[in-house]
Amino acid sequence: MTLETAVTSPQDTFPTARHRLWVAVATPAHSNVGEPLTYLCDHELSPGTLVRVPLGRREVLGVVWDAPEEGEPPMPEGVKARAITGVLEGVAPLSASWRRLAAFTARYYQRALGEVALAALPPQLRDLTPEQMARRVKRSTKAAGAVAADAAALPHEHSVTLSAEQLHATAQIAGESGPFLLYGSTGSGKTEVYLHSVQQALAASPSAQALVMVPEINLTPQLEERFLQRFAPIYGAAAVVSMHSGMTPAQRLKSWLAAHTGEARIVLGTRMAVFASMPHLALIVVDEEHDASYKQQEGARYSARDLAVWRAREQHAKVILGSATPSLETWHASRPPTPEDPQGGRYLRLNMPSRIGSAELPRVRIVDMGQQPRAAVFSPPLLQAITERVERGEQCLVLLNRRGFAPVLHCKECGWKSDCPHCSAHQVFHKIDRTLRCHHCGFTQRVPHACPACGNVDIAPIGRGTEQLEEQLAALLRNVITPERRAARVARIDADTTKAKGALEEQLAAVHNGEIDVLVGTQMVAKGHDFRRITLVAAVQPDGALFSSDFRAPERLFALLMQAAGRAGRDAQYIASQGGEPPEMWIQTWHPEHSLYMALRQHDYPRFASEQLQERADAGMPPFAHQALVRADARTQEAAQAFLKAVSSAAHEAQLPGLAHVYLFPPVPMAVQRIANVERAQMLVESTHRGALQHFLAAWQGVLHAERAHHKAVIRWLVDVDPQGI
């Protein structure tokens, strides 16, 4: 690791400063600033200490890092190192295990150390002065003491009776070292296994901590409620904290301090929580581990799921990956031993195929749209089924993973389309506020009264989004009456309807309270939610992913549909009270014989996974190969591709380590090649050996920096290791 100095004039150096420190500060990988930086202090500071340091003309937060293993290099002649400006007193140094996590993340995902380490800390920590931080810690300590005193008087919650499958799973988790894949069907009670395992881990040690992650922010409120009900009577409400980007900076800092000091025994959060400072970590749970949201798509593009597995092993903690539709990488890693493969996978697979109680998995019904009336949005059989459910007082969920009213506006006279002027994508028509919005760059404008190209006033929407679906369904069900003698109510939940603070919670509460009869939504309502009265789920336009250029598209579609189906029929008692009509999942498709739908009809994930893994093995794709994407953003597409061609040629000329086991594909434009007037190109790097790929990428960093200096039109470049989309 390269060591650099924060250069200054001699008078900026304190005369009493004697000790040299290595400090990680936030510098992006493409800046070519080596790390950690060298500073001076008048006394020794332990690695992990948070300090304020000068960087250029700014003062920034830094983390004192471990000295280089090769010893202290001599200072360059004529260079003076600057002194730190302050220490954040009252905050214990970040542990060695946390520093190893940050260092591994930076190394594996080809990012700068300080960029990863500082991004993992709460934003408010970067802005507070040492004096402000001392006051904040003092207030937190007082509040913790008061909460602990109140918690001592709280009664303990009664234990929950586990099913036979849950008992078997929890016993194996307690008795084995893992890692574990908890493969359970939707409604099988995976959350109760998480709760029980957390309870066992915390009971084993008075200081033990547990981390529980979910893929999306909207899943944290209901999870927090369940964990507080279970653990607040035992450890106090302050023992359970959340961490996600939807919290205010002050809330995030408070939760981080509680975890860092050990006051918080349980941390619930999204992918960012994998970096929570938890010195006594004993258990990590990754719920819905297959979800692509665990992969960060900006900055350091880490996979929180994979880091959770690495962190658990490094800190001698246990890790549980849970899903009804595991990622193919995890499924392959948990394969049981066979005569052909006596070793098997490195994960232990725990099966929970049955739903809790007598609840049934929904019956999957495939509708061939080629046999339905032309241009029908809802086939007559599906519309009839929804009508009957609503008339009985049951709820339905209609899934369409595209928000807005229509994907594009179109002029039939001249062929004009509502293209974004800044991106190679269409602007989506939103009827509710009469706007055209680009979902890539955010550009918004009013809908024109006539075609901007030819003046034709007859411009029409093409395709459908959730907004249009909600409107059409409300019209189709306008004469349907519920048992309460009121008209059927249709509502929509997507990113557009949940922008306001508290809007999602309010809408979900309306669904749970029975105020909504038919819910139209995107993937954000298709997973994790425990809707007790939904008995029918319908996917109206799922075919697009069947023939996508992204080899992961079928896997994601199967997971989305199976997770959506899992929202139906979760309450066996409610189904019985309604007459016992089994729950249903309807799929409208133009390809009813596709093998994906055939496997889905039987809820047969193993069959689907087996077919997909065989295809990937034949094609040499993950998990049988390892990939990285190198992306270049430039002012022109030619400049972006020229840069990628140059770094590829330079790598071959230099015969970089690992190159013999690595294949560099030619550069190509990205699927959406222009965003916000920036052209984007990418180049795939692939190897059957993960170690060879890592060695090559590490050696390639210098080439990328050197070639960047010769390509002035290139704005930035980045490396995405284990990409989730190609």
Rounded CA separation 601/603 (Å):
6
Burial 596-633 (b: 16+ CB within 10 A, else e): bbbbbeebebeebbeebbeebeeeebbeebbbbbbbbb
Known binder of ligand: residue 414?
yes
Rounded CA separation 58/31 (Å):
17
In this structure, the dihedral spanned by the alpha carbons of residues 312, 314, 317 and 321, taken in order and rounded to 10 degrees, is 20
In this structure, the dihedral spanned by the alpha carbons of residues 6, 10, 11 and 14, taken in order and rounded to 10 degrees, is 70
Q: What residues have CB less than 8 Å from 45, skipping those under 6 apart? A: 19, 21, 51, 64, 87
Known binder of ligand: residue 451?
yes
Burial grade of 476 (CB within 10 A; 0-12, 13-18, 19 or more) = middle
Angle of helix 637-654 relative to helix 690-708, nearest 10 degrees? 120
Known binder of ligand: residue 411?
yes
User: 344 vs 128, 331, 335, 348, 685, CA distance in Å?
Assistant: 50, 11, 5, 9, 28
Q: In 3D, which of 203, 448, 192, 231 has the Cα closest to residue 322?
A: 192
User: 118 vs 49, 245, 282, 558, 668, CA distance in Å?
Assistant: 13, 15, 24, 37, 33
Q: In 3D, which of 498, 521, 502, 496 has the Cα closest to residue 442?
A: 496
Angle at 496 between CA 491 and CA 497, to 5 degrees: 40
Q: Which two tokens stand for residue 264?
A: 């918080």
Contacts 24+ apart (CB under 8 A), 70-73: 72/20, 73/3
**487 in helix, strand or coil?**
strand
Known binder of ligand: residue 41?
no
Rounded CA separation 417/412 (Å):
9
User: 280 vs 69, 170, 213, 263, CA distance in Å?
Assistant: 26, 21, 17, 11
In this structure, the dihedral spanned by the alpha carbons of residues 258, 264, 266 and 272, taken in order and rounded to 10 degrees, is 10
Q: How many of the other CB atoms lie within 10 Å of CB of 191?
A: 19
- DSSP structure class, residue 427: P
The count of C-alpha atoms lying within 13 angstroms of the C-alpha of 417, restricted to the half-sphere facing its C-beta, is 13
Q: Which two tokens stand for residue 624?
A: 């049988």
**Beta strands of 544-625 (E only): which ranges?**
584-589
- Known binding-site residues equal 411, 414, 420, 423, 438, 441, 451, 454
- Known binding-site residues for Zn(2+) equal 411, 414, 420, 423, 438, 441, 451, 454
